[in-house]
Amino acid sequence: MSTGSDSVAPAGTAEAVGDTGGPDFDVVVAGAGFAGLYLIHRLRGLGLSVRVYETADDVGGTWYWNRYPGARCDIQSIDYSYSFDPDLHSEWTWSEKYATQPEILGYLHHVADKHDLRRDIQFSTRIDRAVWDDAAAQWRIALSTGDEVTCRHYVMATGCLSMPKAPEIEGTERFAGDIYFTSRWPHEGVDLTGKRVGVIGTGSSGIQSIPLMAEQAAQLTVFQRTPNFSIPAHNGPIPEAKLDAVAGRQADYREEARWSRGGVPGEAYEMSALTVSEEERQERFEAAWESGELFEIIGVFNDILGNQQSNDLLSEFLRGKIRSIVDDPATAELLCPTDHPFGTKRPCLDTNYYQTFNLPHVELVDLRTNPIERITETGIDTAEKSFDFDVIVFATGFDAMTGAIVAVDIVGRDGVTLKDKWADGPKTYLGLTSVGFPNLFLVTGPGSPSVLSNMAVSIEQHVDWIADCLDTMRREGYTTIEPTDPAEAGWVQYVNDYGDITLYPRANSWYMGANVPGKPRVFLPFVGGVDRYRAICDEVAERGFVGFALDGPAGSTRSEEVVRRIQPDVELVLEAMEALGLPPIETMSVDEARAFMEASNEMRPPGPEVGEIVDGTLDGADGDLDYRLYRPATAGPHPIVAYFHGGGWVLGSADSDDPFCRDLCVRADAVVVSVNYRHAPEARFPAAADDGLAAVRWIADHAEELGGIPGRLAVCGWSAGGNVAAVTCQLARDAGGPAIVGQVLLNPVVDCDMTRSSYEENADGYILTESLMRWFWDHYADPEDRLDPKASPIRASSLAGLPPALVVTCEFDPLRDEGAAYVDALAAAGVEARHLPNRGHTHTSLMAVDLVLTGEPARVEIARTLRDFLAAATWDAAVPA
Ligand code: NAP
């Protein structure tokens, strides 16, 4: 091989991983920015040979290229720095809270010099192609110099915002003046003094550079397609508070950053914007605005990126600020973002951005009403006007996160290119690796927190993970590593699930790939947080590379496990509950458990408004029972759903599933009558079952006076209530009525057998535990009674003739398998029975209306099914055989 340069060390300075005879380098890296530099240091430290190829003629990556006026980081300088060498903190003094591009570049030069990193970098060299050679288990890397080298592992450290987007505007080649891209600003700088300047783009680059360009230019015209949210940076010296936070405890401070949400230490504020007073809300908004920190404003309340209403409040506050700064009301309105929730496009930090529009020589052109038609010899023609310029500046952004990766022709196993594999959106495992591309690693790739976090922290985490992985492989005798299909598909799903519970998909942002024409619309980063993500990556490695196949002299291992299957909002609820450290219900007395459940229910979101709520009593099997009736706001009469609440026959009441009953009432457009059947241990088996039958009888007999349509009666129940509903259907069938047109059983108890796999898999950790279920059974029924179909409806001698059924189960529920078994048994008996399994949900999560948003599709389907049952009902069809 030829290195194409004399300035770099010879290849193979250390043993290649696993196979000494093989490749030129253990590791080849594309890019000498923050990531590439640290990779050299870490991999060298392991005794691996590493060669970095860099297109530029020096180190710096993004900070090498983005030299436009005003370019600076918008994470505080101290945080946006390496932690691997603690001495850097004392050696390098940042002059400002937010360092300028020259200062950050200077810092990277210092790091490169101090650790003698340049000797492993070949500058002015692009990697054009990387081809996996399966037989040799190595990558063949084709360089722009015409040389080819081989390596065992190939790392893309090319940055997320490094591939400039094409101008997309006709006529750029015609323009007689100068054209500049903020992302490729000339090193010698540009003197705009006295010039007529047009700037296209109002993202971070535009917003940072426009005030400084306005200081020089004779005339500055800003072409804005989408106004962006920006808050003042309040730049200046490093804040005392930041210095104090690090002083004498740098190691702890860095560790806090690693385990923080965004890669910057700080307390997360765990209140919704909707739960505080107007006064407190405005105070917090004001303080966040004054902080001049992105994470402060994004995290001002815990639901800014999850709840449209909360976001609207902050967005309006920020629009108010813009209106108060910009003198001309029409210009102010144009600068006010209204087409996306705050934060769903990357917000900016600025210095005098909005004030710049008060200057007489600065003009704002709204491209929504007056689009650019072409660039001409002399300037820019819009639909309404021609502008003459000496200089046009493109601040139009990047093909983010994937652009620089697929710009290299990466060819994996069987000749498949990464570009083709990612044609419908990137598919990675952990944002680090991709199936079909063994020994390829991506630093801060799509599917990792990356651009949503402090990049310095996320880069170090990825480099450390990769380095530790290669070290383990070498020690254990593996040559190749590649994720497996199920693991990757599961990760892509998890990343999408997280994105889907946020407001991010509502914006046409580069996070969504929406800024590049033709790019698939996929939410690119992982939004679950740096801390959660780090824990997952650590777990993957600690448990022997979950989701990976490894191969080498040591043999082969293969894991197809999906590392996280749980729905993100369910995970958040479980974590919040765990943090409370509550004692298990089964360790409480019945009274304590009931009080606990009532108190927990108080804290839930209330669910939707319904037309009317009426509390009453009905005839049970042995005396009056309370009920709560939910009536839709639509004109009646309505069909009726008799509803049986959950609570293990011990806990709960007519209103204990209130949010769900409201949701059901609205979505199914039915009267829902929630029945407070008798509870154990006061009334043990078969009290609940007998009450179920008595209640539906009473409801059927009183349908008209309840505002219902006689004959259109379905039953629904959750958990033990699902048990009561299922049993009621059997008892009604056997008794010759009342007619029930359908049954919807949510996570029902249908069998006393606790040996099915779901009991074993989900015995603990998902709220309904095996021991809690045992506690419920013990209170409800003696062991011999549990075999009775009135307790275990799956044990009925015949299931024929029962109403059509929908049985809803959840993946992480001990009761999952018995629910599934009941569907099979019903179908085998000729009953029209459908199963609705819910991936990543727990026993309780579908009930969590307005809390577990990923449960909504199931709630929609439940209501739709009930509507169908009730609509198809005729008295004749509903009368049991
Ligand atoms: P950007 O956020 O994508 O902004 C590009 C701007 O150009 C947008 O206003 C966009 O409008 C507009 N635009 C794009 N194509 C256009 C066209 N054909 N006609 C008219 N307008 C067009 O890009 P950026 O400002 O370079 O920033 C990218 C990211 O880099 C930032 O979000 C940030 O993460 C990072 N960055 C960070 C810093 C920092 O840390 N200080 C500084 C600069 C950049 P639309 O919104 O309508 O697409």
**836-880 pLDDT, tens per residue?**
999 999 999 999 998 999 999 999 999 999 999 999 865 344 444
In this predicted model, what pLDDT tens digit does every residue of 267-294 receive, in sequence order? Answer: 888 889 998 999 999 999 999 999 999 9
Q: What is the pLDDT of residue 217?
A: 98
Q: What is the pLDDT of residue 301?
A: 96
Expressed in angstroms and rounded, the spacing between residue 201 Cα and the centre of ligand 1 is: 6
Expressed in angstroms and rounded, the spacing between residue 402 Cα and the centre of ligand 1 is: 16
Substitution site in 97, 213, 346 for ligand 1 pocket (most atoms within 8 Å of beta carbon): 346
Which string of DSSP letters, residue by residue, matches 635-664?
A: -S-EEEEEEE--STTTS--TTTTHHHHHHH
The two three-digit tokens of residue 53, written as one number: 């190829």
Closest atom of ligand 1 to CA, residue 349: 41
Neighbours of 586 (CB within 10 A): 17
Nearest CA to ligand 1 atom 15: 396
Please, what is the average pLDDT of the chain?
Answer: 95
3-class DSSP state of 34: helix
Q: Give φ, ψ of 616 to 5 degrees.
A: -155, -170
What average pLDDT does the segment 691-714 reach? Answer: 97
Decide if pLDDT at 5 tops 70. no
Decide if pLDDT at 12 tops 80. no
Q: Which of 383, 382, 379, 381 is nearest to 391 (CA)?
A: 379
The two three-digit tokens of residue 392, written as one number: 């046009």
Q: How far apart are CA 563 and CA 544, in angstroms?
A: 12
What average pLDDT does the segment 673-694 reach? Answer: 98
Query: Where does the pLDDT of residue 22 fall: very low under 50, low under 70, confident under 90, or very high at 90 and above?
Result: confident
Decide if pLDDT at 775 tops 80. yes
Q: What percent of the chain has pLDDT over 70?
A: 97
Expressed in angstroms and rounded, the spacing between residue 48 Cα and the centre of ligand 1 is: 38
Q: What percent of the chain has pLDDT over 90?
A: 94
**Residues 6+ positions from 592 with CB-CB distance below 8 Å:** none
Expressed in angstroms and rounded, the spacing between residue 617 Cα and the centre of ligand 1 is: 62
**Residues 6+ positions from 294 with CB-CB distance below 8 Å:** 74, 75, 231, 347, 349
Decide if pLDDT at 2 tops 80. no
Residue 229, judged by CB atoms within 10 A of its CB (0-12, 13-18, 19+), counts as buried
Expressed in angstroms and rounded, the spacing between residue 879 Cα and the centre of ligand 1 is: 65
Amino acid at 467: A
Expressed in angstroms and rounded, the spacing between residue 396 Cα and the centre of ligand 1 is: 5
The single-letter DSSP state of residue 343 is: T
Q: How far apart are CA 733 and CA 800, in angstroms?
A: 9
Q: Give φ, ψ of 349 to 5 degrees.
A: -110, 135
Q: How far apart are CA 52 and CA 123, in angstroms?
A: 8
Decide if pLDDT at 93 tops 90. yes
3-class DSSP state of 673: strand
How, if at all, do strands 148-156 and 362-366 pair? unpaired
Q: What is the biggest distance separating any 2 CA atoms in the chain, rounded to whole angstroms?
A: 96
Q: How far apart are CA 812 and CA 566, in angstroms?
A: 8
Q: How far apart are CA 80 and CA 100, in angstroms?
A: 12
Neighbours of 766 (CB within 10 A): 21
Q: Cβ distance 449 to 455 under 8 Å? A: no
The two three-digit tokens of residue 76, written as one number: 């505080």
Q: Cβ distance 260 to 535 under 8 Å? A: no
Nearest CA to ligand 1 atom 36: 204
Which residues of 135-233 form beta strands (DSSP E)? 138-143, 148-156, 178-181, 196-200, 219-224, 230-232
Expressed in angstroms and rounded, the spacing between residue 167 Cα and the centre of ligand 1 is: 12
Q: How far apart are CA 689 and CA 728, in angstroms?
A: 6
Q: How far apart are CA 455 and CA 84, in angstroms?
A: 14
Q: Give φ, ψ of 553 to 5 degrees.
A: -55, -25
Expressed in angstroms and rounded, the spacing between residue 397 Cα and the centre of ligand 1 is: 4
Q: Which residues line ligand 1 (CB under 6 A)?
A: 72-74, 161, 168-169, 200-206, 208, 225-226, 346, 367, 395-398, 451, 510, 515
Write out the H or E segment, with its range, that includes residue 557.
Answer: strand 555-558
Expressed in angstroms and rounded, the spacing between residue 184 Cα and the centre of ligand 1 is: 14
Nearest CA to ligand 1 atom 33: 204
Q: How far apart are CA 61 and CA 307, in angstroms?
A: 36
Q: How far apart are CA 479 and CA 553, in angstroms?
A: 7
What average pLDDT does the segment 723-729 reach? Answer: 98
Nearest CA to ligand 1 atom 10: 201
How, if at all, do strands 138-143 and 148-156 pair? antiparallel
Q: What is the pLDDT of residue 539?
A: 98
What average pLDDT does the segment 683-697 reach? Answer: 98
Decide if pLDDT at 14 tops 70. no
Q: Which of 313, 336, 374, 332 is nearest to 226 (CA)?
A: 336
The single-letter DSSP state of residue 478 is: -
Q: Which of 342, 307, 368, 339 is nearest to 231 (CA)?
A: 342
What average pLDDT does the segment 108-130 reach? Answer: 98
Substitution site in 515, 516, 519 for ligand 1 pocket (most atoms within 8 Å of beta carbon): 515
Substitution site in 34, 62, 161, 452 for ligand 1 pocket (most atoms within 8 Å of beta carbon): 161
Decide if pLDDT at 17 tops 50. no
Q: Position of tokens 């990825």?
A: 462
CA atoms within 13 A on the CB side of 653: 12
Expressed in angstroms and rounded, the spacing between residue 96 Cα and the centre of ligand 1 is: 24
**Residues 6+ positions from 334 with CB-CB distance below 8 Å:** 224, 227, 364, 366
Q: Give φ, ψ of 788 to 5 degrees.
A: -65, 135
Q: Which of 665, 783, 667, 657 is nearest to 717 (CA)?
A: 657
Residue 881, judged by CB atoms within 10 A of its CB (0-12, 13-18, 19+), counts as exposed
Residue 657, judged by CB atoms within 10 A of its CB (0-12, 13-18, 19+), counts as buried
Residue 56, judged by CB atoms within 10 A of its CB (0-12, 13-18, 19+), counts as middle
Closest atom of ligand 1 to CA, residue 205: 25
Nearest CA to ligand 1 atom 23: 397
Q: How far apart are CA 156 and CA 316, in angstroms?
A: 41
pTM of the model: 0.93
Q: What is the pLDDT of residue 873?
A: 62
Closest atom of ligand 1 to CA, residue 367: 20
Q: How far apart are CA 564 and CA 526, in angstroms?
A: 13
Q: How far apart are CA 570 and CA 847, in angstroms?
A: 11
Dihedral through CA 522, CA 523, CA 526, CA 527, nearest 10? Answer: -160
Amino acid at 852: V
Expressed in angstroms and rounded, the spacing between residue 659 Cα and the centre of ligand 1 is: 42
Q: Give φ, ψ of 28 to 5 degrees.
A: -110, 140
Decide if pLDDT at 11 tops 70. no
Amino acid at 289: W
Substitution site in 345, 396, 458, 506 for ligand 1 pocket (most atoms within 8 Å of beta carbon): 396
3-class DSSP state of 864: helix
Decide if pLDDT at 18 tops 70. no
Write out the H or E segment, with its range, that includes residue 494.
Answer: helix 485-500
Residue 302, judged by CB atoms within 10 A of its CB (0-12, 13-18, 19+), counts as middle
Decide if pLDDT at 627 tops 90. yes
Q: What is the pLDDT of residue 21?
A: 64
Expressed in angstroms and rounded, the spacing between residue 395 Cα and the centre of ligand 1 is: 6
Neighbours of 547 (CB within 10 A): 24
Q: Which of 619, 710, 602, 618 is nearest to 658 (CA)?
A: 602
Query: Where does the pLDDT of residue 187 fall: very low under 50, low under 70, confident under 90, or very high at 90 and above?
Result: very high
Expressed in angstroms and rounded, the spacing between residue 380 Cα and the centre of ligand 1 is: 19
Q: Cβ distance 797 to 825 under 8 Å? A: no
How, if at all, do strands 409-411 and 440-442 pair? unpaired
Nearest CA to ligand 1 atom 20: 225
Write out the H or E segment, with its range, that includes residue 717.
Answer: strand 708-718
Q: How far apart are CA 652 and CA 664, in angstroms?
A: 18
Q: Which of 502, 667, 532 is nearest to 262 (CA)?
A: 532
Nearest CA to ligand 1 atom 45: 226
Q: How far apart are CA 246 and CA 842, in angstroms?
A: 41
What average pLDDT does the segment 132-141 reach? Answer: 97
Residue 282, judged by CB atoms within 10 A of its CB (0-12, 13-18, 19+), counts as middle
In this predicted model, what pLDDT tens digit does every residue of 302-348 receive, in sequence order? Answer: 999 999 999 999 999 999 999 999 999 999 999 999 999 999 999 99
Sign of the alpha-carbon torsion through 149, 155, 158, 163: positive
Least confident of 447-456, 497-506, 872-881: 872-881
In this predicted model, what pLDDT tens digit does every residue of 376-432 receive, in sequence order? Answer: 999 999 999 999 999 999 999 999 999 999 999 999 999 999 999 999 999 999 999
In this predicted model, what pLDDT tens digit does every residue of 243-273 receive, in sequence order? Answer: 999 999 999 999 999 999 999 999 888 889 9
Q: Cβ distance 52 to 40 under 8 Å? A: yes
Instruction: Quote the distance between the C-alpha of residue 637 and its chain's center.
Output: 43
Give how far Cα 710 sits from Cα of 643, 733, 739, Å: 17, 18, 10
Peptide bond into 102 cis (omega under 30): no
Q: What is the pLDDT of residue 360?
A: 98
